[in-house]
Amino acid sequence: MWLDKRYHSLDYEMKSQYGQKLYKLALDGGFTCPNRDGTLDTRGCIFCSAGGSGDFAADRKLTITEQIEQAKTKLSEKQTGSLFIAYFQAYTGTYAPVEYLRSVYEEAISRPDIAILSIATRPDCLSREVLDLLEELNAVKPVWIELGLQTIHPQTAEYIRRGYPLSVFDQAVAALTARGIEVIVHVILGLPGESADDMLATVRYIVQMPISGIKFQLLHVLKGTDLYRNYQKHLFQVLSMEKYTDILIRCIELLPPRIVIHRLTGDGPRPILVAPEWSLHKKYVLNYIHHSLKARDTWQGKFDCTISQNENFSFEL
């Protein structure tokens, strides 16, 4: 039962569904992004590195098959299972002509070792044709769409140059879930100008929607970004590990137990990570979060904000 960790982790969910841990293979489908190619902007989101948030993805010069093989080779020492998630991580994973999208997605899911197709994208890059394709592929193997919302607050969205309003996100979630496609939402904790209450408001908003997963991301300051320039000018501060953990746990408490937590912090690419430095110690940070959940005697759903107070989920070891 996931209760031993006090939250509904992706590992738990995959072991329940597939009897094994499923590793994500980070792929680069050769896409760009409307926030970079001049359609909306050329600068990208304020925190986005030159790699288009795909700094861990394989080399885009390789075919998808070659990328999958390379990513599996990198994992081979620690991986124990035989099934994987093909994760189109770099840039905007649905931003290309539909026939091209079909070719790269099908190249991935036609392999017996790929159990799930996961695509990171923007909610404003889901045309009817793309939705039709995703629905078709979802009938073959599960398709997850990961939407980089980051925040519900318009002022912050403007600051980070997200480039679409909240209503577009709402429509995308409705369109995807109506077609039976699972939606995972990315939320960044620690965005400049946001209080803990602002971050909690974002979580309260999205859990009212039919999403199936959430990825929490600590705000990273990466070299070469406009966020880095603002950081150098001391225009904002990054969160300490203690503060991040406190806010994260308060977010976890609000989540209904059904929502799968895909990530608790996220990795910053070491060569370009400027701050927070503590996030480089991933194992230590995860241990600290797990220990804090226990020390605070709390768990996912303790204050599930989708149900009334007296129905809140109870936890027993």
Residue type at position 69: E
Least distance CB 146 / ligand SF4 (angstroms): 11
Cβ count within 10 A of residue 112: 8
> Measured between alpha carbons, how far is 48 from 59 in angstroms, rounded to an integer?
18
Give the contact letters, 143-172, x = binds to ligand SF4 (CB under 6 A), - = no.
Answer: -----x------------------------
43-102 positions binding ligand SF4, by CB under 6 A: 44-45, 48, 52-53, 91-92
Of the residues 8, 122, 215, 250, which one makes contact with ligand SF4 according to CB under 6 A: 122
> Measured between alpha carbons, how far is 313 from 191 in angstroms, rounded to an integer?
30
Residue type at position 178: A
Q: Considering beta carbons, is residue 25 or 48 the nearer one to ligand SF4?
A: 48
Q: Considering beta carbons, is residue 183 or 249 the nearer one to ligand SF4?
A: 183
Q: Considering beta carbons, is residue 149 or 181 the nearer one to ligand SF4?
A: 149
Least distance CB 36 / ligand SF4 (angstroms): 5
Sorted by sequence, the CB contacts under 8 Å of residue 132 that are 6+ apart come out as none
167 phi/psi in degrees, rounded to 5: -60, -30
Cβ count within 10 A of residue 122: 25
Give the number of residues in contact with ligand SF4, rule: CB under 6 A.
Answer: 12
Q: Does 35 bind ligand SF4 (CB under 6 A)?
A: yes
Least distance CB 240 / ligand SF4 (angstroms): 24
Least distance CB 43 / ligand SF4 (angstroms): 8
Structural element, H or E, at residue 266: none
Q: Does 33 bind ligand SF4 (CB under 6 A)?
A: yes
Least distance CB 122 / ligand SF4 (angstroms): 5
Q: Select the span of 40-48, 182-190, 194-202, 285-293 touching ligand SF4 (CB under 6 A).
A: 40-48
Q: Which alpha helices (DSSP H) does 50-153 contain, by range? A: 64-75, 98-109, 128-138
Burial of 173 (0-12, 13-18, 19+ CB in 10 A): buried
Cβ count within 10 A of residue 49: 21
Least distance CB 59 / ligand SF4 (angstroms): 17
